[in-house]
A = this chain, B = another copy of it.
Amino acid sequence: MNVFIIGIGLIGGSFAIDIKAAFDDAKIYGIDESEENLNKALDLGLIQYKSSLDKLEKADIVIVAIPVDATVQMLPVILDKINDDCLVFDVGSTKQKLCKTVSEHKKRRNYLAAHPIAGTEFSGPQAAIANLYRGKTNIICEVEKTAFKLQERGMEIFSRLGMRIRYMDSASHDKHIAYVSHLSHISSFMLGKTVIEKEKNERDIFDMAGSGFASTVRLAKSSPAMWAPIFKHNKENVIETLEEYIANLTQFKKLIEDDNFTEIYKEMQDTNHIKTILKGIS
């Protein structure tokens, strides 16, 4: 089984490790615009061969793990190059623009739109880890547009990697993921920014930071190259979540200004309900 992975970073590299372990006959070919990343991936044993787009014809599986704007550019080109029996799936955090881009492509049936909800705040081939996907949810959009036997091939991979599958239309995916993923990244980046700005005038305040702060700003370590295109693709939904978040913060500030600490207590108590919700999330 020839597996071509385009973009050998945290996500692509972690697929490489687990697929190689789960399929005896898997040969992993890496494609990356950075020659340095490609060499690292080879040194780390993530891939067995460095490759390039003009070799895609011999692929059985192509995994596209590059920023979403690059995927929109590349996906039609990739579909043009593959053979009729090849499955291509991407792993991007937005799905609507991508599905639209290839909706009329003659090889649309070779493409599966996927979004594994997995990752860390690190990036690059050195960030790739085994079992990243075990127990995680993989959202598949518009599955009916993918050829059935290629769906099966995809599911076999996801299943052996231990993923749970959830089906969804791409518009709902983009709307919901804005809340549970894109907004958290912005809240974290802006929290980090607010405190960094303050530290310019008041030195050493980070010595006072504890594990709570670290947890809340963890996502502010994430890659801008990955995230700027996500916000661009999901502009309308992200703006909507930001407006609701800012409105809630503003109302909370008003409650403090008004000394309405009974209501503040109640707001926090209601939100404590998140404990139950988070139980299922590692």
List the interface of chain A (C-beta within 8 A of B).
117-121, 136-137, 139, 166, 172-173, 175-177, 179-181, 183-198, 202, 205-222, 224-225, 227-229, 231-232, 235, 238-239, 241-246, 248-250, 252-253, 256-257, 259, 261, 264-275, 277-278, 280-282
Contact = CB atoms under 8 A, between A and B. Distances in A.
A211 B118 CA distance: 7
Contact of A193 (B181, B248, B256): B248
Contacts of A246: 246, 249-250, 253
A196 B271 contact: yes
Contacts of A229: 261
A158 to B, nearest CB: 16
B208 A212 contact: no
A253 B264 contact: no
A144 B194 CA distance: 32
Most chain B CB neighbours (cut-off 10 Å) among A235, A256, A271: A271
B193 A271 contact: yes
Contacts of A172: 202
Contact of A274 (B166, B198, B220, B245): B220
Given A117-B208, A268-B227, A281 B218 contact: no
B221 A265 contact: no
Given A193-B271, A198-B241, A246-B250, 19 more contacts: A176-B205, A185-B212, A187-B187, A190-B249, A194-B245, A196-B273, A206-B280, A209-B278, A211-B281, A214-B282, A215-B215, A220-B271, A221-B272, A221-B274, A224-B268, A228-B264, A231-B264, A239-B257, A246-B246
22 contacts: A118-B210, A172-B202, A179-B205, A180-B213, A184-B216, A189-B271, A190-B245, A192-B271, A192-B274, A193-B270, A193-B271, A197-B244, A211-B281, A211-B282, A215-B216, A217-B274, A220-B268, A221-B275, A221-B278, A224-B272, A232-B256, A242-B253
